[in-house]
Chain A
């Protein structure tokens, strides 16, 4: 009887020890994922277009104990809705947001850094982990800590009418000054030389500014009162002063700007890669139109940066199942899932997609952009990004509406306001 009891006790100790060693060896990962107890995760996507074609079918088949609830909360509303929901303890586990909004989310303690889970990912599936470009990680990082991954990051590019340039005997511009020369040459009664939007969004301006060699200070505040800043403001003013853009430019939004190029009313424009398929529906790439990353400024070639916007999936403070959340991120990083989004919407940060013949076949510009996409830089965010945007727009609006305004004076004046933010 005593022996039987001893055997039972030792059997229990041995089984506990074995279970413990398995958990220890896997870092609590495989064991957790394999547990029968179901885990429920809620994932918010910022656009319907960011959901892979597979729509989690293969994920559900692989992990039958993980229930994934998918919802689409527009990027514009994601922040306020997430903060309300998370404050009530009912927020999503994974949230997709504009990477420029990461600082306020971190400051409000609404995100969790997931370095440990990412290390586990790297260990368990190095091929998938190493397939993500540096900008994919950058867009989900704040103060050196990673809160998720961006699987989509999109830059603005310089698109131009190749056929018109050839007909006019002009070479494609390589600098901003050459862009102005081309705009002057191709500015006619039928079409404008360059198509831009009014002073109502900063993301295009920021792309120009960074390509012109513009810098941000230690607080990630734009330096308007710098050579690049003054040049950028002067560039916009020149476009308006010389009538190289629409006389209605101050009222133009992104739709007007893009439509002008697509419908043959503009010779050049700054357009995001996600719009290329729409251009291709009207014009043939390599024959009628072409695209390159934003141009360089003469004398500031070394300071050139290819700016991008990113839409990372970040893990929120509400998530209790970090390993399972990281499995969702791994699923989104899969080649086919990333490609399905890149084919119909924004460029991906999953590098294997860029060289995929099926991808290049559908998107003829993909080969030209494979290399530049590896060198994209995140547009620096900060806690007061919206206030900073408002100030930039005021400065931009002033130089675009007042032709007597001195860009240097405007830059200096608004820089003081910008510096007051911190």
Chain B
């Protein structure tokens, strides 16, 4: 009888969790895994336009892409866009997360309001931002002109357009990372803060020594979210600037779309997809390792 109990407990502790996550794993492998395998296979072949078969070419598609000026431009634009979003987005998320955590009144209302940009569709968000930054009658330029300034060419200037697109992206995706950080803050044992206060720790010391280490895993998840949401961002950029002016906001996701559905080059567009995936996985691993060591 005792032996049976031991084997049941062992089964429950060791095997049951895997049984429970199996449906999710199968779903992910079935949907995402299949797409990745097919895309990787496609990226190693040279398919003629609209065809689904072609000769094996190894990594030629990748090499060819790196030789293209438009792809080089897309890589640089993507990194500016992603790191701009991650840096500003993390600062905003942390600030807003701490603010929401310390709110005593109407906290639920403010937390709900924080999520609103995330709930709006990307296309709708792009339209809102397009209205805001329209050079002729946009709200931002109206404010600038009201205070005596000159109207700014937001979307037709290369640098300004990239700034606007990055801001729109931050506005759209940072609420999710804010909520992740807020969740991390809420699970910290308040006794730790009381103990720190008794020991005479300053606010800065409490934040650096207690808060940051204890929300490390949440910070890494937030970073991963901001990174991969930005690398894959398409729904805001396409309707907001279409990648323009003169390719100033053409990120890799947009480049991939044009390659696939414009040029009908499925092999090279699959190669871009695999590179985007590799970047996402690579940065995720870095962030996880970075914060694992800190905790």
Interface residues of A (CB under 8 A from B): 76-77, 79-80, 83, 87, 104-105, 107-108, 110, 198-200, 246-253, 383-384, 386-387, 389-390, 394, 397-398, 400-401
Contact = CB atoms under 8 A, between A and B. Distances in A.
Contacts of A387: 263
A110 B49 CA distance: 11
A250 B156 contact: yes
Contacts of A400: 246
Contacts of A398: 246
Interface in B14-56: 48-52
Contacts of A253: 242
Contact of A107 (B49, B161, B247): B49
Contacts of B261: 76-77, 80
A151 B241 CA distance: 33
B48 A251 contact: no
A247 B135 contact: yes
Contact of B70 (A105, A247, A390): A390
A182 B158 CA distance: 30
Contacts of B194: none
Contacts of A87: 52
A273 B245 CA distance: 27
A200 B244 contact: yes
A386 B264 contact: yes
Given A79-B264, A386-B262, A249 B156 contact: yes
16 contacts: A77-B261, A80-B261, A80-B264, A104-B49, A108-B48, A198-B156, A246-B135, A247-B153, A248-B136, A251-B161, A251-B245, A253-B242, A390-B262, A394-B246, A397-B247, A401-B158
Interface string B53-83: 0000000000000000010000000000000
A199 B244 contact: yes
A251 B246 contact: no
B245 A397 contact: yes
A359 B247 CA distance: 43
Contacts of B161: 251
A83 B51 CA distance: 8
A387 B70 CA distance: 12
A199 B248 CA distance: 12
Given A80-B261, A387-B263, A247 B50 contact: no
B159 to A, nearest CB: 12
Nearest to A249: B156
A250 to B, nearest CB: 4
A390 B69 CA distance: 12
What band does the interface of chain B fall in when counting residues whose beta carbon is under 8 Å from A?
A: 20 to 34
Interface in B243-263: 244-247, 258, 260-263
A110 B263 CA distance: 17
A204 to B, nearest CB: 15
Contact of A104 (B155, B242, B264): B264
A147 to B, nearest CB: 15
A76 B246 CA distance: 22
A251 B260 CA distance: 24
B206 interface: no
B51 A246 contact: no
B291 to A, nearest CB: 40
B134 interface: yes
Given A108-B48, A387-B263, A251 B241 contact: yes
A398 B70 CA distance: 14
Contacts of B245: 198-199, 250-251, 397, 401
Nearest to B53: A87
Nearest to B161: A251
Contacts of A198: 156, 244-245
Given A104-B264, A248-B135, A251-B135, 10 more contacts: A107-B50, A108-B51, A198-B156, A199-B245, A246-B136, A247-B153, A253-B242, A390-B70, A390-B262, A394-B246
A83 B50 contact: yes
A76 B50 CA distance: 14
A127 B245 CA distance: 50
A199 B246 contact: yes
Given A200-B244, A387-B263, A108 B156 contact: no
A390 B155 CA distance: 20
Contact of B244 (A79, A104, A251): A251
A128 to B, nearest CB: 32
A397 B52 CA distance: 34
Nearest to A80: B261
A47 to B, nearest CB: 17
B48 A250 contact: no
Interface string B153-181: 10110100100000000000000000000
A88 to B, nearest CB: 9
Task: Name the residue among A107, A383, A398, A401 with the largest chain B CB count within 10 angstroms.
Answer: A401
Contacts of A386: 258, 262-264
A223 B207 CA distance: 65
A104 B50 contact: yes
